[in-house]
A = this chain, B = another copy of it.
């Protein structure tokens, strides 16, 4: 790992072309050859970067560039896609290198599977008398998040998303079409459950006779507040 603070300009050519005018930035050079160029702001996404596997090469600038103030040119080339990143260094302000060793990696806990688990446990949220058949009900085109039956014994296919976009409605529509071909299940109605359902998704769902259900994750989780676990 090498960290450089330098005044530089950057050019990228690959799936698109991009240019960064001359300014002072942080350049992170990882040991796999990958490069990240960060400004002092924004979010975690760098202004420009090169993903591994790639090769790094430091070159002496051409005469024209040398006159423009370039002291060094870094050329980073992606080995598969031939994407190229060129960093023209005008001045290096800081330059630190250190061996970090491998990282044990991130341990995650609690995402969409939690929502699914909670809704399966609290399936009566979908409606009175509704009971769970099973989670991850397998079909030829993939698993339906939850299959349930209502008080009349009619099947309900439930698709769960954290954020209810239009593509989740498409997904559920495909499942419903398939499930309704099964005479043992049909008729199957659909429920689209999410913490938040976008207006366009709701419109499309309701146009197709799919019910929308907004889930309150915090309420479902009860008092098990994740932030409390830190203290």
Contact = CB atoms under 8 A, between A and B. Distances in A.
Interface residues of A, number: 72
Interface of A (DSSP majority class): mixed
A182 interface: no
A51 B44 contact: yes
Nearest to A32: B41
Given A51-B43, A230-B11, A100 B141 contact: no
Nearest to A84: B227
9 contacts: A1-B5, A3-B26, A3-B94, A3-B96, A26-B28, A34-B41, A44-B45, A86-B230, A141-B203
Interface of A: 1, 3, 5, 11, 13-21, 23-26, 28, 30-32, 34, 36, 38-49, 51-52, 82, 84, 86, 93-94, 96, 98-111, 140-142, 162, 166-167, 170, 174, 200, 203-204, 226-227, 229-230
